[in-house]
Amino acid sequence: MKKFSYREISDQELQSLTDVIATKFGLDFSNYEKKSLKRGISRLMFKNGFESVLDLWKSLMSARELLPGYIDEMTVNLTELFRNKELWIGLNELIQKNYRGKDKQDLAIWHSGCSTGEEVYSMAILLQENGLWERTWSYATDLNPFAIKSAVKGTFPLVLKSKYLKAFDQCLPDAEFERYFEISMEQNHFGIKKDFTKNIDFQCHNLISDPYKQNSFDLIFCRNVLIYFDDMLKIQILQKLHKSIRKGGFLVIGFYDFMPNDCKHLFEPYDSSARIYKKVDSDDPTHKNEALTARERLKKRLEENYKRM
């Protein structure tokens, strides 16, 4: 197989392509971080043997059904079971402190940008270990229909088993891997058992353009997604996520994501080593002044941005 060689994409080429995708298919990539998008496009051109961005553009125009595959290449879908040990240890503590116990209500969790589902299944296992899986509803979404299709299957290549087993043991030393996964030697994969898929609603959802469920979740994951958006888009998404989390709920971001200053009135650190934030309730008077200044700052920035357009 020929080795991937990066082909430089100019800002103009990028813009022409994202404009077409936006106007023709309603998918807005204009506020994505340029470097990773260009890399994705370059990979897409290499795989399909396109000489120029124009060739790619033309192929999209002639066959709309190619779009999901193109999105699959343009976005980064990297994920793992129990990725970032510190997070899962932190989440275990959070769950035990806030949600364990008979009198507590049902739990609603949203995994936004869930890719092929590894994060969702890791959480399902953690909840089961805490006796909470039966009363959890898990909503798991991604822009990429290929990723969602694969997430629904819940199977992983056998070659990854020892790596995932190690991560599983590090995060949940008392749990048994075999309780959750079954191996299929013929199919060369291992898969999550059906009991741990039944409370999960996998859907395609675009964080930029699709509606958000309001005031609906105790916990939202948005890990390693914001990193691909520019600052303005990050702020807009975090504002919408804030409204989607119930009072007293939590947000999990990725280890390379950061909380912009303009959103610090919306979320306060809960467990910094795990990158978990707690929703700040806007009725809380201690945060009111801070919220106002941050809102004013954002308004100013949005106005400046608007003038530049």
Residues that bind ligand SAM (CB under 6 A): 75-79, 83, 113-115, 119, 142-144, 147, 206-208, 223-225, 228, 254
Residue 132 or 222: the one with the smaller Cβ distance to ligand SAM is 222
Cα–Cα distances in Å, from 42 out to 26, 38, 193? 22, 6, 37
Cβ 147 to ligand SAM shortest distance, Å: 5
Structure tokens, 16 = 């022409």
Residue 128 or 224: the one with the smaller Cβ distance to ligand SAM is 224
Residue 18 or 75: the one with the smaller Cβ distance to ligand SAM is 75
- Strand-by-strand arrangement of the 107-112 sheet: 200-204, 136-142, 107-112, 217-222, 245-253, 276-279, 267-271
Residue 109 or 280: the one with the smaller Cβ distance to ligand SAM is 109
The H or E element spanning position 119 is helix 118-129
Q: How far is 270 from 280, CA to CA, in rounded Å?
A: 11
Cβ distance 91 to 126 under 8 Å? yes
Q: How far is 161 from 134, CA to CA, in rounded Å?
A: 26
Residue 155 or 265: the one with the smaller Cβ distance to ligand SAM is 155
Cβ distance 270 to 278 under 8 Å? yes
DSSP-based three-state secondary structure for 213: coil
| Burial status of residue 82 (CB atoms within 10 A of its CB: 0-12, 13-18, 19 or more) | buried
Cβ 209 to ligand SAM shortest distance, Å: 8
Angle between helices 161-171 and 85-98 (to 10 degrees): 40
- What lies within 8 Å, CB to CB, of 171 at 6+ separation is 82, 85, 88, 89, 92, 122, 126
Residue 142 or 271: the one with the smaller Cβ distance to ligand SAM is 142
Handedness of CA 272, 264, 302, 111 (dihedral sign): positive
Cβ 131 to ligand SAM shortest distance, Å: 25
Cβ 64 to ligand SAM shortest distance, Å: 19
Cβ 228 to ligand SAM shortest distance, Å: 6
Which phi-psi region, left, alpha or beta, contains residue 294 (left: φ > 0; alpha: ψ -120 to 50)? alpha
Angle between helices 34-48 and 11-25 (to 10 degrees): 80
Residue 225 or 280: the one with the smaller Cβ distance to ligand SAM is 225
Cβ 120 to ligand SAM shortest distance, Å: 9
Residue 45 or 74: the one with the smaller Cβ distance to ligand SAM is 74
Cβ 254 to ligand SAM shortest distance, Å: 5
Cβ 262 to ligand SAM shortest distance, Å: 20
